[in-house]
Amino acid sequence: MPDDSIEAGVGSLDEDLRALLDFCESERLQQLQDAIARDTLTEQQFVGLVPEGALRVANALSSPVACESVREIVSENARPLIRKAEALVRDHFDTILRNPIVRRVSENPIVRRAFEKMSATQEERTAAASVRDSFNIISGTSSLPTWVGSPPELRPTVRIGFLDKNGRLLLDSFLTWDDLLFLVGSLINVLAEQLEAGRELAKLQQLELGNTAKLADRIQDITKTLSKIKSLAPVYGIEVRSADSGQDRQAPQQE
């Protein structure tokens, strides 16, 4: 059994590492390898055999760049555990992760959720939902425009809510237009920095982005919306100058 006295010092990572080690020391690994070798593996069988945490950490540790990131964030006494996990991924998961069935389930959470609901008990579904909810992943937003003051000195504000996949409120904030533009600008700069940082890995085809057509549609929608904002700005006395292509991009500063 895995050495429970060694922890990575990161809650969700600890759980995933234990799931990986438990899976690799169980009969389920051999059952999965046999099904892949016979080309009889089904999506439902895969979901029933491989814990989500084990798959998540195996995907991460199959990338040299991600491995390096993991080593940097874990506690010193967890390094042996990380090395053991890396070795298990190299020895057992290379063929597994390249299997089309595995890739489809890995890249499409909706598929995995559907098969989990078919096979899991109510107790297991509740526990799984609790772990997923702990990540506080933003899956939606709500907004309510408001006005502060009295004419002719009304000041526009908006109440923004960030929601998880169950519609639960994660963050609620009142924002002025300046606050809103600062937030949007900061997030777009984060995306631009990520795109720049991953350029060389993309050239080497070391990145897996999932549905790139969906990402392209999102970028197109953002571009159209920014164009609309720019065209409406002069109505409010906001003159937007054309960007100087010779200037370096700078992250927005909140005043």
pLDDT at 4: 43
Task: Indicate the SS3 state at residue 142.
Answer: strand
Please name the amino acid found at residue 113.
R
At residue 115, the pLDDT reads 47
Amino acid identity at 167: G
Strands (DSSP E) contained in the chain are 140-148, 155-163, 169-176
CA–CA separation, 87 and 77 (whole Å): 17
Q: Per residue in 140-195, pLDDT tens?
A: 888 888 888 888 888 899 888 888 777 778 888 889 999 999 999 999 999 999 89
Residue ranges of the alpha helices (H) in 38-165?
43-49, 52-61, 64-73, 79-88, 94-98, 100-107, 109-119, 122-133
**Taking 90 as the threshold, does the pLDDT of residue 216 lie above it?**
yes
Whether the per-residue pLDDT at 45 is higher than 90: the answer is no
- 213 pLDDT above the threshold of 70: yes
Q: Report the greatest alpha carbon distance in the chain.
A: 75
Q: What is the mean pLDDT of the chain?
A: 77
Residue entry with tokens 């169980």: 26
Question: What DSSP designation does 228 have?
Answer: H
Q: Is the pLDDT of residue 38 over 70?
A: yes
| Segments making up each domain of the chain, as ranges | 11-133, 140-236
Hey, what long-range contacts does 142-150 have (CB within 8 A, 24 or more apart)? 146/174
Confidence of residue 66 (pLDDT cuts 50, 70, 90): low
Whole-number Cα distances in Å, 158 to 65, 108, 123, 148: 40, 34, 40, 10
Phi, psi angles (nearest 5°) of residue 36: -70, -45
Q: With 60 as the cut, is the pLDDT of residue 61 above it? A: yes
What is the C-alpha to C-alpha distance for residues 194 and 186, in angstroms, rounded to an integer?
12
Instruction: Tell me how far apart the alpha carbons of residues 42 and 114 are, in angstroms, rounded to a whole number.
Output: 14
State the pLDDT at residue 249.
47
